[in-house]
Each structure stands twice: as C-alpha cells, then as structure tokens.
Amino acid sequence: MADDKKFAGYICTGCGIGDRLDASTLEQVATRDGKMQSCKQSEMLCGAEGVQMIKDDIANDSVTHVMIAACSRRAKVEAFNFTDVALTRANLREGVIWVRPDTDENTETTQEMADDYIRMACAELKAMNKPAPSGEQELNKNILVVGGGITGMTAALEAAAAGYPVHLVEKSGALGGAVGGYYKVIPTRSPYAEPAENPVPAMIETIEANDKITVHLHSTIAKTDGAPGRFSVELATESGSSQTLSIGAMVQASGWKPYDANQLPEFAYDKSADVVTNHELEALAVAANGGPIKRPSDGKEVKSVCFIQNAGQCSDKEGHLSYFSGVTDLISIKQAMYFKELNGDCDTTILFDNLRTPGAGGEDFYRAGQQAMVTFSKGIASEVVAGDSLTVKFQDKILNEETEMACDLVVLATGMEPNSGPDPYALLALEEIEDLDERAKKQEEIIAVAPPSILNLEYRQGTDLPHLKNGFTDSHFICFPYETRRTGIYAVGPVRRPMDIQQARDDATGGAMKAIQAAENAGKGRAAHPRSGDLSFPTFRKEGCTQCKRCTVECPFGAINEDEEGYPMYNESRCRRCGTCMGACPVRVISFENYSVNTVNEQIKNCEIPEEWDEKPRILVLACENDAYPALDQAAQAGVEVNPWARVVPIRCLGSVSLSWVTDALNSGYDGIVLMGCRRDDDYQCHFVRGSAMAAERMSKVGDTLESLNLEPERVELYEVAITDIQRAPQLINDMADTVEKIGLSPFKF
C-alpha cells in the first residue's frame, strides 16, 4: 500500500501570501523536511487554473496525497474538493499572515510560523490514508414512524410525499393521538380570530388513502437491532402476533401526556368533579354536541367559568413541572372562546400571571379572545374551595389584594409531559457503583418508575433515546433540532419539547427529511451531520485492545456494541466520526484513515522546537474545528493578532483528544498547551453533544501528568470557546504566551 502513495505539495502565493512570505523557502521546507515528492506554486491556487493543475496531477501523475498551503481549511472548500485523495491544508493566510503584523522585525518569526505549518501539514499527510467507504451498507428507503398522533401522521405523510415507503406504528387502536379527541384547535391561519376545525379526521383519511404508508395499529416495538440503513425492527401486536421490518431510518413521535392533576389538591381537583384540566375540558366540549357545555357534577349548564393558568407548571414546588408548556395560555384562550360560542353570556375569566401567546397568530388570537369579552385578570390562584358553586381564591396582581370569585366550573391549565422511553444513561451511570448489592437496589428503583421502552434498541448504551432536561427526549436543541444521539433515529414533536400543533407539524416535516437523508447517507457509507459526507470511519486494532470498554461507554452516539468476547463492535452508520472513542482508548488502537492519534502526533512532533537559548517558546493549540477554529479564522479576518509562538492544530472534537498528545507535547518541549472546545454543560454547544464533556473529564487527570513531570499546572489550559468568541479566542492564546513568559520556558527542550 505504502508504495502506491504519491505526495504532492501546492503552495499558493495569492492573497498576499507571496508578499509576506518567502515562497521558495516554503517550497524547500515542503520537499526537504516535508518529503513531498513534488511541490508547485500558484498565484491563485483556488482559481480554475490552479485547481485544474491539481486535478491533472491526480489524474495523470497518480497523486494520492495532497498538501495545500494556502488559506484556512474552512475557506475555498468547494474549490479544493478532491474526493479521491487524502488532503490536508496548511493555513498560511488566516493562520499566519493575517494574525502577524507586517513589519520588518516580525518577518523572521512569521516565516518560521509558516514553515512550521507546512512541516506539520506534510507530516500529517504522511500519516493519513485515503478514506474509502466500507461497503457495509446498502440503501434502504423504508422509514419507520413511531406514534400516530398529529406529529407522527405528518412525518409519515411528508416522507411518503417524498417517495419513501413508510411504516406508521401506533400503540392504540386508532390514529389521532392526544389531539384527536379535541373539539377544536388553535387557529394556524390568518386572521386567527376563532378556534379552528380539528385537522385530525382529514389527516387520518389521507393516510388511509396513501398506498406508500402502512399503518400498524395496536402495535409496539419489541426490538430494534442494527443501524441506519439496516435497522431490523420487530413489531408486536396486542394479539400476540409479530413481524420484522427492515428499515432505513426512524422517526420517534411518541408525543406527550397530560400532567396528573391529582398532584394539585389545593385546587380541589380530587374533591370536585367541576374542577377539570384543560385536556378534560375538550371532552366536555365535544360531549356538548353543539349545545352549551355542562358541568360534570350535575349536568347544569355552565354560566361562569374560571381558567387557572400555570396550574402545576412553571413552579418550583414539589411535584410541579418546573417548565412552561408553551401552549397552555393559547389553549385557555381557545377554550374560553368555546364558552363564548356555546354558552351564551357565560362569565369567562382567565386568571394569569404571565400570558404567553407564542407563534405567528398568538397575539392576534389573544386579542380575538379579548374582543369576545373573555376577561383576562392578572392574578395568581391560591385555592379552589369545592361546593355547589366553586370559590377561586386569588391574589390580584394589579390591585394587590387577596380576593375571590365564584364560578360553576374551574379549568386548570396544566402542562405537557413527554412520552419518552426510559433514560438509557440512568442505568449506565450505576456501573460506577462498586457494591453490587447497592447497584442492584438502585437499578430496581429506577426500573420501578421507568416508563416502558418505546424503541427497545439492542444497543450497548440502552434501549431508548437519551433524555434532556425534565425527561424530554434528546435533541440537539441549539443547532440541529430532531438530531438525537442515536444516528438515524429522529425525535420530533412534543416528545422533545412542549409544542403546539403547528410547531409539531413543522418538526415532523423536518424530522422526516432528516430520516430520509440518514437513510440515503447510510446507503453511501457517508457520515450524517455534522461531518456530513465524511467517508472515513473508526476501526480498532483487535490485537491491542484490552477490552476496557471505554470506547463503548464514551461514544456519545451509542455506535459501538460489544461482541460476545467483549470486544467493541463498530456500527459504521451509527457513527458520527467525532473521534471520542479514539481519544478514550488508553492503548490508542482506534483510528480513522484520515485522522488518528498518529496524524496529530506527527504534527506535534514536526513543529520545530527552538533551543532554549533562542528564547522562542512554543505553544500548542488544539482547537475544535467546529467552533474554536472558525472563531480563530474570523479573528484573523478581523485582524486580531496572535502570538507568534502559537501553533494551532485543528481537531474534530475535544472528545477526540488523546491524553498522549498532551504528554508527548510536554515531553518534546512545548511550553504551554491550550485546548479549545465547545460549551459542555446542560446548555451544551458541542456538535457531538458529549465530546467536550468527556474530554473535560479526561483532562482533569492532566494535573497528575504535569506533577509527575514536575511542570507548572498553568502550562495546560482547557477552555470552552464559542464560535462568536472572536476577540476572546486569540486572547486565550496570547494569555498563555504571557503565562509562559512569567513562569519561564519548559525545561524539556533538547
């Protein structure tokens, strides 16, 4: 194999590179130190001629490895898109000339910087292989949708409309979900003036008439095996029969359930039949059959009704939901208008503290409610006293007084809770507990309250999609909604956050499109977001593996199972190519063709470390290519200066950082190391969700390493950097330079 490799370097002198740097020196460095078999210059490498030159070399001279020394790897991506070769970029523009002042006294250090980057790029290239698809996958166009409510039905219809066969699985005996039984819904079209017709019956009809959609009623998922492109899903029906479907990708739209109002004794929900939840009121409105709504206790026509907003939600109280369900204020407005429509001159009061009416028509609908003479009172209800007439005690927040009102019916605006499966990490976390008895006890406790599994995944990391806050199902809520930590399975609708019908439909459409994309990508052996299109995938060297399970546990995407012997079993199409497994492996046996412990180590080693008496420190910056690296690029564009001792190496994710890089760098004489990754807490911004957090955990042990080397702890810093940290990112590097100046050069230079 090695014999077939042919290395070619290309140096661009455009964009001012040629004016600031000595191109012939650069070329010399590439061929002499970097061992490029050829090296060519171009005044504008990204132009048609330059690109053609590279293409020709690939075609005619069988070049397999290309080193481009020009602008940042984030620039001119389209122009330098040569799929059949291993490719690396030395960043001379954003990395060097734009961050260094153009003055005589700086010429030397600027050239040194550029030389280093070329050396590093060449060394990286030498350690890379041309990535190729594994051929593990085939195209499977079947989309499975779990849940037959509005969200699931929308996903099914959208996927079918795009030409993909759909299996729609519904636990109950009918499609329609929670909203199916509603009298009317919040309007989604201008003028948003009154409650709109329930869309569910029409949707069910369309689904039944669509021959691309197969509906499985009374069905649940008994087992899901495999990976995107080759899921094998076993359905179980109530009657006991089962069948196995072969599926390309999945959408989980398992919806929501109403909050249990029995936890609200203060509102007499358990004492009076005339205190109902918003969910229950829908049934009363339907039962009214066009006539006036009657109260449950004695069938008397409701003459006055009071809605209590935020009942059991937006509250820190034990047993209450800490979050707001987003839609419940609009629902109360809608339901108050039922009374104006059906119950004549019924006194209708909405007791609110904050009235929130999100969405395009929210404000108009609120006004429509006011026009209809619904009384909106700013007040917080404290108690409902049961009786023939109910008494609502509340604090009037405008008039600042404790007061009360009498009414026939009280409606509690309670919140939505997700229909998530059990949290897969709840049980995994128990593996930390040493005492087996205690572990078993905790396990039982968790299992006792856990909801039934929805997907029954045969994954090393549990049966269902991970949770976010408050039990909602995973989604990368900042950048990529519906994207979960289980590749090819998309969570949509109120299972991932509370939402209204319109939002759920938009969500479902997005999720259906993502599922289609995942099936297509899997068929081609390409990664899903965020490294979409990447063909490389991780492999491990079985001979070296100690079966430590770190990779299988730390992979944020549950991509790795274990075989009977306990060895990791990779599932290429579940993998997102983050490299967290690689960073986790203590014996460094995991690698990608084009990214490995070695490719980075080679870069670290091939930067020239000046002798101590030169007084030129070296600072290694490992910057996440998703946020930190672009932040540095933008800083460069804005002309923010970076210290000339810094050498920046882009990495896929902090999670991929191997501790050995840090130790090796320190050992070889670097004076400081700066690690930059994404935010990692609950409000994470990590593109690989957990990568940054895993890295932080690992790096907490760096202190020991430093101590054993007798080095100051300030020599290694780990930062959370956002893509917007344009001033801060370079500053962090410059800060390290100051630190080094203060504590002195590393004693490890030789």
- Closer residue to ligand SF4, CB minimum distance, 526 or 550: 550
- Supply the minimum distance, in Å, between the C-beta of residue 97 and another protein: 44
**Which secondary-structure segment (H or E) carries 124?**
helix 107-126
Contact status: 637 vs another protein (CB under 8 A): no
Q: Please select the residue that binds ligand SF4; options are 326, 493, 525, 538, rule is CB under 6 A.
A: 538
Our CB check for another protein shows the closer of 304 and 463 to be 304
Residue 736 touches which of another protein, ligand SF4, none (CB < 5 to 8 A by kind)? none
269 binds another protein (CB under 8 A): no
Q: Is there a contact between 127 and 598 (Cβ–Cβ < 8 Å)? A: yes
* Residue with Cβ nearer ligand SF4 (486 or 496): 486
Q: Per DSSP, what are the bridge partners of residue 233?
A: 224, 245
Candidate list 550, 618, 690, 698; residue touching ligand SF4; CB under 6 A = 550
Q: Which positions from 569 to 588 touch ligand SF4 by CB under 6 A, shown as an x/- string? A: ------xxxxxxx--xx-x-
Q: Give the neighbor-by-neighbor strand order of the sheet with 275-277.
A: 275-277, 409-412, 304-308, 347-352, 375-385, 390-396, 401-407
Contacts of 375 (CB under 8 A, 6+ apart): 347, 348, 349, 350
Residue number with CB closer to another protein (81 or 354): 354
Residue 366, interface with another protein (CB under 8 A)?
A: yes
Distance separating alpha carbons of residues 539 and 542, to the nearest angstrom: 9
Kindly state the tokens that stand for 256.
């929501």
| 257 closest CA partner among 344, 171, 386, 378 | 171
Give the CA radius of gyration of the chain: 31
In the list ligand SF4, another protein, none, the entry touching 331 (Cβ below 5 to 8 angstroms by class) is none
Residue 13 has phi, psi (to 5 degrees) of -110, 10
253, 145 in Cβ contact below 8 A?
A: yes
583 binds, among ligand SF4, another protein, none (CB under 5 to 8 A by kind): none
Which stretch in 164-172, 372-380, 451-459, 721-729 sits in contact with another protein by CB under 8 A? 372-380
209: contact with another protein by CB under 8 A: no
Q: Which residues pair with 68 in a beta bridge?
A: 10, 89
By the 10 Å C-beta count (0-12 exposed, 13-18 middle, 19+ buried), 188 is classed as: middle
What tokens does 55 get? Answer: 């293409």
Q: At what angle do helices 691-699 and 659-667 cross, to 10 degrees?
A: 50
Site map 585..624 versus ligand SF4, x via CB under 6 A:
x-x-xx----------------------------------
Residue of this chain nearest to ligand SF4 (CB atom): 14
Contact code string over 54-93 relative to another protein, x by CB under 8 A: ----------------------------------------
* 529: contact with another protein by CB under 8 A: no
Of 322 and 370, the one with the shorter C-beta distance to another protein is 370
What is the full DSSP assignment across 329-388? HHHHHHHHHHHHHHSSS-EEEEEESS----STTHHHHHHHHHHTT-EEEEEEEEEEE-SS
Write the CA distances from 270 to 263, 312, 317, 409, 539, integer angstroms: 9, 14, 18, 14, 59
Binding mask 103-132 toward ligand SF4 (x if CB under 6 A, else -) reads: ------------------------------
Q: Specify whether the CB–CB gap between 735 and 643 falls below 8 A.
A: no
66 binds, among ligand SF4, another protein, none (CB under 5 to 8 A by kind): none
In the complex, the smallest distance separating the C-beta of residue 403 from another protein, rounded to whole angstroms, is 8
Taking a C-beta distance cutoff of 8 angstroms, is the pair 591, 570 a contact? no
Strand partners, 66: 8, 87
Residue span binding ligand SF4 (CB under 6 A) among the ranges 219-227, 354-362, 501-509, 538-546 = 538-546
- CA 318, CA 512: separation in Å to the nearest integer? 37
CB atoms within 10 A of CB 63: 22
Report the amino acid identity of residue 695. Answer: A
Q: Is 389 in the site for another protein (CB under 8 A)?
A: no
CB of 375 to another protein, least distance (A): 5
Nearer of residues 93 and 119 to ligand SF4, judged by Cβ: 93
To the nearest whole angstrom, how small is the minimum distance from the Cβ of residue 374 to another protein? 8
Residue 269: closest CA among 151, 392, 429, 420: 392
- Choose between 241 and 371: whose C-beta lies nearer to another protein: 371
**Region from 176-184, 367-375, 649-657, 712-720 binding another protein, contact rule CB under 8 A:** 367-375
Distance CA 53, CA 511 (A): 42
> From the list ligand SF4, another protein, none, which binds 373 (C-beta under 5 to 8 Å, kind-based)?
another protein
Window contacting ligand SF4 (CB under 6 A); options: 7-15, 327-335, 667-675, 740-748: 7-15
Near another protein by CB under 8 A: residue from 35, 300, 367, 393: 367
**How far is 139 from 452, CA to CA, in rounded Å?**
31
- Does 687 bind ligand SF4 (CB under 6 A)? Our answer is no
**DSSP annotation of 306:** E
373 binds another protein (CB under 8 A): yes
State yes or no: residue 404 binds another protein (CB under 8 A).
Answer: no
Query: Considering the rule CB under 8 A, would residue 394 count as an interface residue with another protein?
Result: no
Residues that bind another protein (CB under 8 A): 347, 355, 366-367, 370-371, 373, 375-378, 396, 398-399, 403
Residues that bind ligand SF4 (CB under 6 A): 12, 14-15, 17, 44-46, 70-71, 75-76, 93, 538, 540, 545-551, 555, 557, 559-560, 568, 575-581, 584-585, 587, 589-590
